[in-house]
Chain A
Amino acid sequence: MTLLAPTGSGQPPPAPPAARSGRRRLLPYLLLLPGAAWLLIFFGVPLVQLAAASLYDPSGSLSTGYAMTWAVSNYPDVLQAYWPQFLRSFGYAGLALVLALLLGYPLAYAIAQKAGRWNNLLLVCVVAPMFTSFLVRTLAWKTILSDNGALVGLLRDVHLLAPDGRLLATPFAVVLGLTYNFLPFLVLPLYASLERLDHRLLEAATDLYASPVQAFRRVTLPLSMPGLVAGTLLFFIPASGDYINAELLGTPNEYMIGNVIDSAFLVRLDYPQGAALSFLLMAAILAVVFGYLRRAGTEEVV
C-alpha cells in the first residue's frame, strides 16, 4: 500500500526564475500602495497637524492666530475641565454595549442557527435602518421618546413613569440611542461567527454530559469569540466617541466627550483644546482596546 503512495504528480515544478520571484515578492507591497497613500494623506497628515494644534498656545484664537508654544499643559487642563464627560462617554458606551450584547447575541444566534431560510431576510432587517441617515434615525427616536408621545403616555398610565416623568433628555434616552444606532455593528460580525458554528458540535457536547448552559459556555461562546471581539470593538469605539445621540436625545447634563470636542472646534473655536481632547480620547480608546484584546486573547486560549 505504501509502495504505491508517492506516485503523485511526478516531478516537483521547476523553481521559478529569480526575476519573477522578485516581482512576486513586490506584488503585495504594490497592492498596499493605494491604501497606504490614502492613509498617509488623509489620516497621517491631519493627525500630525492635530498633534501640533494640541500643543498651541491656549491663549491664541482663530482671529489673532495661534503660536506654537509646545503647551503640553493643554492636556492636564482639558482633562481637569472635562473629566466628567470622559467618564460619561465610557460609562454610556459601556452600558449601551451591555444592552446591545443582551439584545444582539441572542439575535445573531437565532438568525444564524434557527432562522433557516429566513436568515437572509432577517439580516436585511438588521441592516435596514442603515438605509436611512444616522441623524434621521436619531430624530425619529426623539419623536418616539418625546414628552407628549404615545410611549411616555403609556408608561405614565401604567405608573412605570411618574406623572411628570420623561424619557427624552435623560441618560436613559442617550444610552438607548447608542444601543440602537450601533447594534448592527455588533450583530453582523457575531452573526458571521455563529453562522459557521457546526451544530453537530453542540450535539457532541450534549452527548458528553454538557447541559445547555455548559454547551454554550464551552463550545458556542469560545467558537463565537472572534465575532464577539470584533463586534464589541466595532460597537464600543464609535459609541464612545459619538456626540449625535447626546446632542439630540440628551441635555448638556448628558454630554459626552464628543460633544465637548464638537463645541471646542465649531462653537468655541478653541483649537488647542479640541485637539488635546481628541488625542486623549484616541489614547483612552486605544488603551481600552488593547487591554480588552489581551484579555479576550488569553480567554480564548484557556
Chain B
Amino acid sequence: MARETPAGDLRLANLTKRFGVFTAVDDLSLTIGQGSFFALLGASGCGKTTTLRMIAGLEEPTSGQVLLGDRDITRLRPYKRPVNTVFQSYALFPHLSIFENVAFGLRRRGIRSVDDEVTRMLSLVQLDGYGNRRPAQLSGGQQQRVALARALINRPQVLLLDEPLGALDLKLRRQMQIELKRIQTEVGITFVHVTHDQEEAMTMADTVAVMNAGRIEQLGAPADIYEFPATAFVANFLGQSNLLAGEATGVGGGDVAVTAHGTRFSVPAGRSRAEHGPVHLGVRPEKLILVGSADQVPAGHQHVTGIVTDASYVGVSTQYLVRTGWGTELSVFAANSGTSARVAVGSEAVAYWDPRHAFLLPRDAADTDRTSPVLDEPVGASS
C-alpha cells in the first residue's frame, strides 16, 4: 500500500502570507508529528484556509518554509506534493461520476487498475454502490465523504481538511467526526483538520493549535489547553472562562498572591503565567460551585459573593449568572447531579473554587474583567 517514501513530520517555519498590506498568516512556526491528528482552531478569517493552501501549494508564502521530513517543499508545485486536500467547498468534479472522482488522483499518476482501490475506498466511506452517480445526485454529507475518499485514496503523507464538516447538520457532523477519527486511526496518515468548532477540535485531535489573527496563540493537547489556557483569547475561545482583572504581588510559599476588586486571592505558582503586575485570574464556569452563604465554603477554597441574576436550565446542567459587588457577571455551571439544590434568581449566593483550578494570565493594564456570554452549540459561522 505504502507508495510514498518514508514520511516525516510536517514543519512550518516562519510561514508568512501577506495580501497587499494585510497579513493573513503571521510568522507561523509549528511541527506536526507524522501520523498525528492535528487541529487548527480559530475564528472565521483568522488565516486557517490560507495556512492550508500554503501547505497544499495553492498559495505561495510571502516568506518562510514548508518542510516535509527533511524536504523543503515550499516551492514545489501542488501536483508534485504528497499532500491532498478535502476542500471546504468539496470541489467535486461535476462532469465525472463518483467513481471517476475518486479515481482521479490515481489516474493522474498513471495507475491503470483502479477498480479495487476505488471500490474499497467507497466502502470505507460507506458509499458502496454510489459509483455511477454524479456529485449533484448526492446529499451534502455524501458529497463530503466523496471528497474525503477522493483525497484519501492517494495515501498522501498529509491530508488537509478544511472545515469539511461545516456544511453538515449537527447529528451528521457528530457521526462524521467519529468516522473521520476512525479512518485516521486506520490509515495512519497525518491529518491537519481546520475548524472553527472548538468541540470538534477537542474531540478529534491529538494536538490543537488555537489561531488568532494569523498567529498561533497556544498549541497543545486539548485537555492541557483547556485546563491551562495561555491567553485570555484562548481561555474564552476554547470553552468559557471568568477572567477577573487583578494585580499579582509576587510568589510566596508556592502561591502567587493576587488582589482583585479589593479581595485577596492566591493561585498555585505552577498555574500562573505571570507573578507580578496586571493579571487575569481565571476560573472556568464549571469549576465554580454555588452555595447560599460564606460559611458553607470549605476550607482552603476561595470565593466571591454576588446576586444570582439568571438561571437557565439546560438539562445536564444549570447555567447561572452571578453579579458580583463590582458589577461583573460570572458564569457558573452547576452539574445536574441531584446533589445540590437549585438556587433561586435574585437570591444572594457565594461562588467558590479550589485555587488549584484557577489560573493566572498576564493582562494588558487597560484590560478589565472578561467573561464570555453563555453560548449554546458553537455556531458555525461560514468562511
Show the binding face of A for B, using Cβ within 8 Å. 1, 198, 200-201, 203-211, 214, 218-219, 222-223, 300
Contacts and interface: CB of A to CB of B under 8 A. Distances in A.
Interface stretch (B27-35, B81-89, B200-208): B81-89
Closest 7 CB pairs of A and B: A204-B91, A208-B105, A209-B108, A206-B78, A200-B91, A210-B108, A209-B79
Interface string B44-84: 00000000000011100000000000000000011100011
Interface string B229-251: 00000000000000000000000
Sorting the interface of chain B by its residue count into under 10, 10 to 19, 20 to 34 or 35 or more gives 20 to 34
Contact of B79 (A1, A211, A219): A211
A208 B89 contact: no
A210 B91 contact: no
Nearest to B100: A218
Given A201-B93, A222-B95, A223-B94, A207 B109 contact: no
A209 B154 contact: yes
Contacts of B150: 208
B46 to A, nearest CB: 21
B95 A223 contact: yes
Pick the most buried of A200, A201, A204: most chain B CB atoms within 10 A of its CB.
Answer: A204
Contacts of A201: 91, 93-94
Contacts of A207: 56-58, 78-79, 83-85, 87, 151
Nearest to B153: A208
Contacts of A206: 57-58, 77-79
B104 interface: yes
B91 A203 contact: yes
B299 to A, nearest CB: 47
Interface in B120-157: 150-151, 154
Nearest to B88: A200
Interface in B89-116: 89, 91-95, 104-105, 108-109
Given A1-B171, A222-B95, A208 B58 contact: no
A136 B78 CA distance: 50
B38 to A, nearest CB: 19
A214 B150 CA distance: 17
Given A201-B91, A207-B78, A209-B79, 5 more contacts: A203-B58, A206-B57, A206-B77, A207-B56, A214-B108
Contacts of A222: 95
Contacts of A218: 104, 108
A211 B91 CA distance: 17
A92 B151 CA distance: 47
B104 A205 contact: yes
Pick the most buried of B57, B93, B94: most chain A CB atoms within 10 A of its CB.
Answer: B93
Nearest to B171: A1
12 contacts: A200-B87, A200-B91, A203-B78, A203-B91, A206-B77, A207-B58, A207-B83, A208-B105, A208-B151, A209-B109, A219-B95, A223-B95
